[in-house]
Amino acid sequence: MALSSNFWIWIAAILTLAIYSFLYKDNPFYKFAEYLLVGISIGYGISVYWHNTIITKVFNPLVYDKNFLVLIPLLLGLLMFSRFFKNVAYLSRIPIAFVVGAGTGLSVPSSFEFLFKQVYATMPTKLDIGIIIIVIGVISTLIYFFFSLEHKGFVGRVSRVGITFIMVAFGAAFGYTIMARVSLFIGRIQFLLSDWLGIIK
């Protein structure tokens, strides 16, 4: 293994280092990379939209398959652009209302179903220490987040138990978050040491 001779790997390495330079202090190299990223990622998004969505889902069905049913949602979608013309801007609310309304209608029954599955899984089918912990934890956490009741007396004591469970959960999530952040850095070091410098395999 040796130092990379690939032009593109060098570009990637230089951009990586430009961003790490921010750890020392803010500087124009970092700024340049940051803004370049914004531009490139939107440009990439447009390209994928163009080939995968506009061509595949609108142009080809309309031009080659003569599927004119596409026209209705197409017109509805085009209405969104009305927001750029002040006097007809309100027309863009119709497609938005359609997306939000239909999306909500689709989600309500399935969300209920999902909720029931979670509740069902909390029902004790046999008695062991694990399921007891789960039942107590779920109920006390729910009570902690139930602000319509004043957290006093019995309710106060139960919500106190709820906080204890929540702290354990946040602790676990926090420990895992450390792991996640470190992993991201490991990924970059691997690239620099292996693909670019060729120090490790």
Burial profile 26-51: b = 16 or more Cβ within 10 angstroms, e = fewer:
eeebbeebeeeeeeeeeeeeeeeeee
Q: Which 170-199 residues touch another protein, going by CB under 8 A?
A: 170-191, 193-194, 199
Say how far apart CA 75 and CA 128 lie, in whole Å: 59
9 is a site residue for another protein (CB under 8 A): yes
The minimum distance between CB 154 and another protein, in angstroms, equals 18
Choice between 3 and 163, CB closer to another protein = 163
23 is a site residue for another protein (CB under 8 A): yes
The minimum distance between CB 151 and another protein, in angstroms, equals 15
Torsion of CA 36, 38, 43, 48, to 10 degrees: 130
The minimum distance between CB 68 and another protein, in angstroms, equals 13
Choice between 54 and 149, CB closer to another protein = 54
Q: Which residue in the set 83, 151, 155, 198 belongs to the binding site for another protein (CB under 8 A)?
A: 83
Contact predicate 159/181, CB 8 Å: no
Choice between 3 and 182, CB closer to another protein = 182
20 is a site residue for another protein (CB under 8 A): yes
Q: What is the secondary structure of 55-109 as a DSSP string?
A: IIIIIHHHHTS--GGGHHHHHHHHGGGGGGSGGGGGGGHHHHHHHHHHHHHHHHH
Q: Which residue in the set 3, 27, 44, 149 belongs to the binding site for another protein (CB under 8 A)?
A: 44
| Residues near another protein (CB under 8 A), total | 134
The alpha carbon dihedral of 31, 36, 42, 48 has a sign of negative
Q: Which 98-157 residues touch another protein, going by CB under 8 A?
A: 98-115, 117-122, 130, 133-142, 144-145
The alpha carbon dihedral of 55, 57, 62, 65 has a sign of positive
Choice between 54 and 150, CB closer to another protein = 54
Task: Identify which of 31, 4, 10 has the alpha carbon closest to the alpha carbon of residue 19.
Answer: 31
The minimum distance between CB 177 and another protein, in angstroms, equals 5
Contact predicate 183/176, CB 8 Å: no
Q: Which 84-103 residues touch another protein, going by CB under 8 A?
A: 84, 89-91, 93-103
